[in-house]
Amino acid sequence: MKKYIISCLYLLLTFSFVNAQQTEKIYLSGTGSDHTVNWDFFVSKGMKAGTWTKIPVPSNWELQGFGKYDYGFSKDSVRGKEEGQYKYKFNMPKAWQGKVVNIVFEGSMTDTEVKINGKLAGAIHQGAFYVFRYDISKLLKYGAENLLEVKVAKHSANQSVNEAERKADYWIFGGIFRPVYLESMPQAHFGRVQLDPQANGLFKGKLALVGNADQLVVQLHDKNGNAYGERVTVPIKKGSTSIDFSKQFESPKLWSAEFPNLYTAKFSLYQNGKVVHEISKKIGFRTIEVKERDGVYVNGAKMKFKGVNRHSFHPASGRTTSKKISIADVLLMKEMNMNAVRMSHYPPDGHFLDVCDSLGMYVMDELAGWHGHYDTPTGSKLLKEMMINNENHPSIVIWANGNEGGHNRELDPLFAAEDLQKRAVVHPWEIFGGFETTHYREFNYGIGNYDHGHNILMPTEFLHGMFDGGHGAGIEDYWKAMWSNPLSAGGFLWDFADQGVVRTDKNGEIDTDGNRGPDGIVGPYHEKEGSFYTIKEVWSPVFFEKREMTKAFDGVFNIENRYSFTNLNQCTFEWELKKLDKRSNSIKGVSLAPDVRPYDRGKVKVDLPSNWRTFDGLYITVKSPHGEILFTWSFPITLPKDEAVKMLVTTADQPVKSTTTETAFEVEANGVTVSFNKQTGMLERVKNLKGEIPFNNGPVLQEGVNNFKNFKLSKRGEEVVIASTFDKKESYNMLEWTIYPSGIVKM
């Protein structure tokens, strides 16, 4: 009885009692990693196998202590191939009787069999990352308790699914990892909805119809809920299974990553003057064009994608995420001044695309296929499921048919056939469709390629975070080449976050599978690392030319507007003069934002006070029209060498001491001891009163072999000078070290 009451209360909380003609929804699972519901669970092999217990849904079962952890590079013979069985009892409202009721799975890994009250809901679904549904209207007991049983096989019976999704460079999991819910609709209702709102204000659509209706009405609303434009009324011929509409709207606010303006489109289906079904969709007016031998255009502006690859992933929950995680991810990307994200290597959660729509990110959505691809019947079905679920998101500007070699070419025509907007399709790491997307070209070779060929250059992966020494190490060089080349459409860094997973079988250790997973810009829990700030500077849409703060400096900086739709007079330019002594007062001000149109150059002036040269540095912070800090640039007034001179002490209470051991010269000054190796001439060790400083065995000679000859130790006033002589004819042959009484060491 208690279980029945709790179940009823849960239904009351999750039931959408709005209007009878709207689609209603009841969650059987939770909504994400931060909201789950316990189901009965049994796993066949691995951890906790052989016993019925509870598991939170949605989740990957490995993260809950079941089955076996596997990275995609594991040999097939050692991969976990366990199966999970789920059971869940739920009560159906009596009011849903007579309606069409679907059970919807947003994602399940991998082969999924569904039964309602002991009867199959439909064919086993194969493919992990796609929303699928079954009409279970005739299998339910209304006003009574029902039993849901789900069997999930981690390893697919379809080998092409394993090749596309599980033989891959990422963690592979099992389980119902995205939400499960029931949806009900009246017998006459909308089916698939395909929309195409264009930058010129033309709004086209194609809606599938089920049942009898005689009229379609479409009404747009702005973000404040106010009606926008005239409503569209279209009569429906008897027996029609679909209806098209087209309406011109005057001067809509356009959608872009810089200004993600959204409208709500409400679609109403009428029969004999009464509404029989209503649905709403978020839309954005925008047009995507790919111009051969030119580039990618959004709303008429040529794009440079400042992109990154992203997995749907969190260390503590695997592929199960939440809207909160999606928001945090997109905000971090935008904080780095990114404007694009590639869905590697499968379609993401719906809420991630919702966030990209609302916060503004260009998206490349991808049909799974890491290096292998789906067979054509399976791929066709999954591609259509991806389209039905994702096609109306304004953030999606390009489709990807698989990853590196995971392209089923027989599916290419299906993208155009299924997509009302006819967005471009790419094959990552291939020349296809007018794009050259090759991954990880060596810099010299890759940049050389930027001077040849006629395809749009858009590497869908470049600068690997692990194997290329960190993203910040090379991004400025790459971006200079990309920005200056008219055929470049930018590119996508690999990748956003380290793929470190919490091992429930190893006391919570975060496992990156050696060097395969730690290739992110940010850490597993999205900790900011050094490259984060380098990317933020290089990809700032406001570019400052280098300027030295000499006595002749007049406060004027040359700048470039690298926005696509924003005039720099919409930004805020703040400045501050600082001294290194934090106790000293600073001086702050705001410069007049210059009138510089997108892709133009201009100037900004800082009105400096007359005593500006008494400060150590000038800092300029630029904020976007939305108040986001694009970057803070620092311009030194006092140079480091000038400060170093101030710090040098030429006299001291204790003189500089030097001693000789069997293997080294040691010099001590003001509590600092430096040791020089007699055999190599190198600085061997540095220590102070607190301990040893990890600064040793250098410098590394750029020209190769260390041909050390001898030392010479001498005194120069209060300082001790050590000269290391080398047998080198090409350039220098001596390193001179000066140790000052202050403990400062100069090379």
CATH code, 152: 2.60.120.260
Based on the fold, state whether residues 78 and 112 are members of the same structural domain.
yes
Query: Domain boundary at 538, 555, 582, which?
Result: 538
Q: What is the pLDDT, as a whole number, of residue 701? A: 62
Note whether residue 298 is domain-resident. no
Q: What is the pLDDT, as a whole number, of residue 710? A: 73
> What is the pLDDT averaged over residues 40-61?
98
Count of helix runs (H) and strand runs (E) in the chain: 10, 52
Domain count of the fold of the chain: 5
Q: What is the pLDDT, as a whole number, of residue 741? A: 84
Based on the fold, state whether residues 561 and 630 are members of the same structural domain.
yes
Based on the fold, state whether residues 515 and 550 are members of the same structural domain.
no
Query: Domain boundary at 166, 185, 204, which?
Result: 185
Based on the fold, state whether residues 239 and 220 are members of the same structural domain.
yes
Per-residue pLDDT tens over the stretch 9-21: 344 434 434 445 8
- Mean pLDDT, the chain, whole residue set: 92
Query: Domain boundary at 163, 185, 207, which?
Result: 185
pLDDT at 279 over 50: yes
Note whether residue 415 is domain-resident. yes
Based on the fold, state whether residues 568 and 702 are members of the same structural domain.
no
Report the CATH number at residue 221: 2.60.40.10
Note whether residue 289 is domain-resident. no
Q: What is the pLDDT, as a whole number, of residue 658? A: 79
Based on the fold, state whether residues 165 and 245 are members of the same structural domain.
no
Beta strands in 83-157 (DSSP E): 83-91, 100-105, 108-109, 111-116, 119-120, 132-135, 145-153
Distance of alpha carbon 475 from alpha carbon 482, whole angstroms: 10
Q: What is the pLDDT, as a whole number, of residue 646? A: 67
Based on the fold, state whether residues 308 and 392 are members of the same structural domain.
yes
Q: What is the pLDDT, as a whole number, of residue 4? A: 41
Per-residue pLDDT tens over the stretch 476-499: 999 999 999 999 999 999 999 999
Q: pTM score, two decimals?
A: 0.89
pLDDT at 690 over 80: yes
> What is the pLDDT averaged over residues 714-722?
81
Q: What is the pLDDT, as a whole number, of residue 116? A: 99
Q: What is the pLDDT, as a whole number, of residue 445? A: 67
Based on the fold, state whether residues 581 and 677 are members of the same structural domain.
no
Token couple for 579: 């001294």
Based on the fold, state whether residues 207 and 178 are members of the same structural domain.
no
Beta strands in 272-347 (DSSP E): 274-283, 288-291, 295-298, 301-302, 305-310, 340-343
Per-residue pLDDT tens over the stretch 217-274: 999 999 999 999 999 999 999 999 999 999 999 999 999 999 999 999 999 999 999 9
pLDDT bucket at 693, cuts 50 / 70 / 90: confident
Note whether residue 124 is domain-resident. yes
pLDDT at 210 over 60: yes
Q: What is the pLDDT, as a whole number, of residue 3? A: 44
Domain that holds residue 729: 648-746
Note whether residue 208 is domain-resident. yes
Q: What is the pLDDT, as a whole number, of residue 13? A: 39
Based on the fold, state whether residues 394 and 459 are members of the same structural domain.
yes
Based on the fold, state whether residues 265 and 158 are members of the same structural domain.
no
Based on the fold, state whether residues 566 and 714 are members of the same structural domain.
no
DSSP state of 517: S
Note whether residue 370 is domain-resident. yes
pLDDT over 70, % of the chain: 93
Report the CATH number at residue 534: 3.20.20.80
Note whether residue 299 is domain-resident. no
Q: What is the pLDDT, as a whole number, of residue 728? A: 62
Task: Identify the CA nearest to 307 among candidates 368, 199, 397, 373.
Answer: 397
> What is the pLDDT averaged over residues 307-334?
98
pLDDT at 6 over 60: no
Per-residue pLDDT tens over the stretch 378-426: 999 999 999 999 999 999 999 999 999 999 999 999 999 999 999 999 9
Note whether residue 291 is domain-resident. no
pLDDT at 699 over 80: no
